[in-house]
Amino acid sequence: MTNEERIQQFEKQNPPFMLYDHKDGSFSLGLPFTFLEGRYKNYGQEAFNRYAIERGDPVKDGQFFTHGSGYEWETVFQKAFEQDNDLQRVDFDSEAGAFFCYADDLSLLEDFGSRFRTICEDQESFSSLVCQALSEAEQETEYHMDHNTVKYNIECRTRWSMEVITPEQHLHIEKGRGVELWKGRNITAEDSISGNTIEVNAKDLLRYHVTECEEDYENHHILLRAEPVQNEVPAESVSM
């Protein structure tokens, strides 16, 4: 079966999700809201409206729904598969009016897409997932803002080179790798203390509290001194 035939079969079995072959070895799974019609016009929106009501937000802000953007669908998708190691093989490029994720493996997106649609079709379970995912994301955002974390400090500098100095490591992160780190993906980095190249546990390091920040705008380089937040017991930030 050709890729085109596989895509046609997937879309027939999993509406309104769509697959795209970019003809460069990459594929994407999408849910472009503005193109949905008929019974799928406001697909999944009831779950996001429930979240709005639980928060005390208006369901609509003018003519648009308050919640249910592509970014929020992305958050829900990531929550649904947070225990799946293959999620790290997927990149995201959502926008306000559409959810999109990319991979270089069509089978991977077929699998994620069909499983996600099954979740979406169970209205009660999907509503619970949406409320949990968005609530946790909001809490995590507040955490990073309140604690002046590594993630908060590199958010707009993810393509810079970085040094992150903690009580355990002095990490040298190459330009561009901060994107993966900020997204919560483990990366490898040189550690001046051990002299080794190590795997950095992104989830733990991103939560470290920044005590000092030096920015070199000319060379696009940032140096952070950071430490675990008091009263929080950190897991190991690296694995050998």
* Domain chopping of the chain, boundaries: 3-143, 150-239
List Cα–Cα distances, 73 to 101, 135, 148, 199, 219, in angstroms: 11, 13, 26, 29, 36
Phi, psi of 61 (to 5 degrees): -110, 95
| pTM score | 0.82
Question: In the structure, what pLDDT confidence band is assigned to residue 229 with cuts at 50, 70 and 90?
Answer: confident
pLDDT at res. 78: 96
Please compute the mean of the pLDDT values over residues 197-223 and round it to a whole number. Answer: 95
pLDDT mean across residues, the chain: 93
Residue 20 has pLDDT above 50, yes or no: yes
Residue 233 has pLDDT above 60, yes or no: no
Residue 234 has pLDDT above 70, yes or no: no
pLDDT digits (tens, 9 = 90+) for 89-145: 999 999 999 999 999 999 999 999 999 999 999 999 999 999 999 999 999 999 999
